[in-house]
Structures are given as C-alpha cells and as structure tokens.
Copies of this chain bind each other. A is one copy, B any other.
C-alpha cells in the first residue's frame, strides 16, 4: 500500500528514519498528471534506491503571471494508481500553505545557466524551480534524485545548484520518453486539439532534421538552425518561441559545434508552448 505524506515534518521524520536504518532513498519530484515519461523516471528510481519517494506539487513560483498555473492538469487519484503500479513507496503531496507559509521570502538563483532559452522566455521560472527543488531535497533527503532530459535547461540548473550549494545527493538525467510518432511526452500535450497534435510533431521532426545535418558533417550552428527554422515556419499553428544551439555546460549560444552542444527549442502550437531538445551525437529514438 502506497503511503501518502502531506506535511513537511512527517516527510522529514520519515526520511530521516529511512536514512538512519541505512536505506538508500531515490526521489522523483513531479508536478503530477503522470504520463509514461514520469513512470520511466520512477522505474529508474525503483532500480537505484531502496525506498522510492515521488512528490506531486504544482509549484506556483515557477509559473509566470500569464502562464497556465490554474489550468495545469491535476488528477491525484489517477496519479496514485499509476505510482503504485510502478512500485512507488511514498507520495509526498504538500499543500501550498505547507510549502510557502506566510512571510515566505527566500529564493535561490543559479545565475549563468538560466540566462538563455526558457530563462529568457520565462523570467523567474528557474528561480522558482531551483528554490522548490532545494526545499524538496531538504524535505525528502534523497541520496539520488531523477529528472527528465526533456527539461534540459532545468536539469543543468539543478545539477549546477546541487554542486554549488554542496548538496550531498546525486542528480540523474534520463532520456526523454516519446509517443510512438516522436512527440515528447508532456503533461501539457492534453491541451492540444487533434489538428494541433499533428502540428506538434514539428518539434521532434526538427530534432531529427538537425541530427541529420550533423551526421552529414555540418558543424555550423547557424546553418542547422536555418534549416530547422524554415521547416517549422511552414507548419500550421506553429510559432517559434526560441530555437538555439547551446553549450550543454554554459547554456550559451554556440556558433560552431565543437564542444558538447544541444539544440533546444520552444514552439507555441496554438496557445500551448512545448519544448524539446537534442544533444548532438546522442541517440534520438524517432522513426
């Protein structure tokens, strides 16, 4: 029977006693409304720890004022069943009052790697992400925390924060889980109409196109981006928010692909903003 914990105090005491009894805690922080991408992270967590804790919390501080906080999909009962099906031990499900009590005023900023991409499009987003992850790490006290590479800049930011603040835990990034046709799984995919769902394939197809240019020997970032841009501009409902090739270490734009580089893109499909990315040289399981 899966255990549900709702208060910080109970979560900390529970985790402390797990640690004191020598158990390795693996942790998957989520905003809920699980899809197979979340479940893949949990399956990895199940393998890498003795106790698997999943948090479900739609964190308001990482949403901008005009973003989709209110309509973000939620379904706790469904999430509980899915978590149970992959062997999660504990769901940590705190309230807003528990997370941000009156007079709350402390924030963590990771200054450099958050400047580009989503950091530009969503001011304050990564401050919210870094802060809530630090809080969750202090509550859950994991030995290992597992994040998806779909949110690539988020993963880089969390790794940077954990290293800089000397948090004694391991951050693991897992490959993006995709639908059969290539669309990266995202809780936001439910926003898409049937027509938009077809257009949304332009993200994964862009990655595939960039990978092909790279494998043909192209190392000029501008030429790869131009090819992708031309393609997306002809897709109905699609509007590019950003489309860049960046160093995976600094997240700054690169002109030539010499070090490890990532193509990252955010595209509005109608009013739904989707992101995806491809680290050059890696596999991309898209037909």
Contact = CB atoms under 8 A, between A and B. Distances in A.
Interface of A: 8, 12, 16, 19-20, 22, 103-113, 130-131, 134-135, 138-139, 141, 160-161, 164-168, 250
A113, A131, A138: residue with the most chain B Cβ atoms closer than 10 Å: A138
A234 to B, nearest CB: 39
A8 B138 contact: no
3 closest A-B pairs by beta carbon, nearest first, are: A106-B164, A138-B166, A105-B111
Nearest to A106: B164
Main secondary structure of the interface of A (DSSP, over half): mixed
A106 B105 contact: no
B107 A112 contact: no
Nearest to A161: B106
B106 A165 contact: yes
Contacts of A20: 19-20, 22
Contacts of A131: 165
B105 A108 contact: no
Contacts of A134: 165
Given A106-B160, A161-B106, A8 B166 contact: yes
B12 A168 contact: yes
14 contacts: A12-B168, A16-B168, A19-B19, A104-B164, A105-B113, A105-B160, A105-B164, A106-B111, A106-B160, A135-B165, A138-B165, A138-B166, A138-B167, A139-B166
A100 to B, nearest CB: 8
A20 B24 CA distance: 12
